[in-house]
Amino acid sequence: MNPTKEQQNLIDVILRIRKKAHPSESADLDRRARLFGGVLPQEIMQRSLEERMEKLEASKRKAAESALLTDRERKIWEVIQRGSRGLQYCRDLEAAHIKPRRKGVWQDCPRTYPAAYQVGEPWRHRIQDEKSRIKRKAEHTGLASE
């Protein structure tokens, strides 16, 4: 049984809502489907729910994998723990043989952290962002309490 064009449009609208919804909201989605003038066939709703749950599980796995510090991040974390700030922080990074990345937004960055810091914006801001991100990640993994 093929749905009419109007029914298909309704199904598409409901599926878009369903993708944004949390899996525990299935009763609410049934109510929304009725408000739109129709009820989705149960198998379509179930399939959509299963797809959403699979994506959620995949994102949890990815988050768990990215929660660990890389070797580079671990070295930067050791420098952060020393408590240095500003240009001294950049000098400590250089002393630890850590250089700015050479890809993405860092592509045009000077070759050393002190040089990048002395150039000014946007590098100072990006260095601080990187420091904050690694600090937050270390705290999340429990390294900050050690």
Express each pLDDT in 102-120 by its tens digit: 888 788 888 888 998 988 8
How confident is residue 89, by pLDDT bands cut at 50, 70 and 90?
A: very high
Residues 107 and 94 in one domain: yes
Of residues 19 and 138, more confidence is placed in 138
Residues 76 and 139 in one domain: yes
Residues 109 and 86 in one domain: yes
Of residues 62 and 115, more confidence is placed in 115
Domain boundary among 15, 36, 66: 66
Residues 118 and 140 in one domain: yes
Residues 82 and 127 in one domain: yes
Range of the domain at 119: 71-145
pLDDT at 30 over 70: no
Residue listed under structure tokens 């699979």: 54
DSSP state of 38: S
Residues 135 and 79 in one domain: yes
In this prediction the pTM is 0.52
pLDDT at 64 over 60: no
Quote the number of domains for the chain.
2
Residues 106 and 58 in one domain: no
pLDDT at 126 over 60: yes
Q: First vs last Cα of the chain: how many Å apart?
A: 62
Residues 19 and 59 in one domain: yes
User: What's the CA gap between 80 and 103, in Å, rounded?
Assistant: 23
Residues 127 and 61 in one domain: no
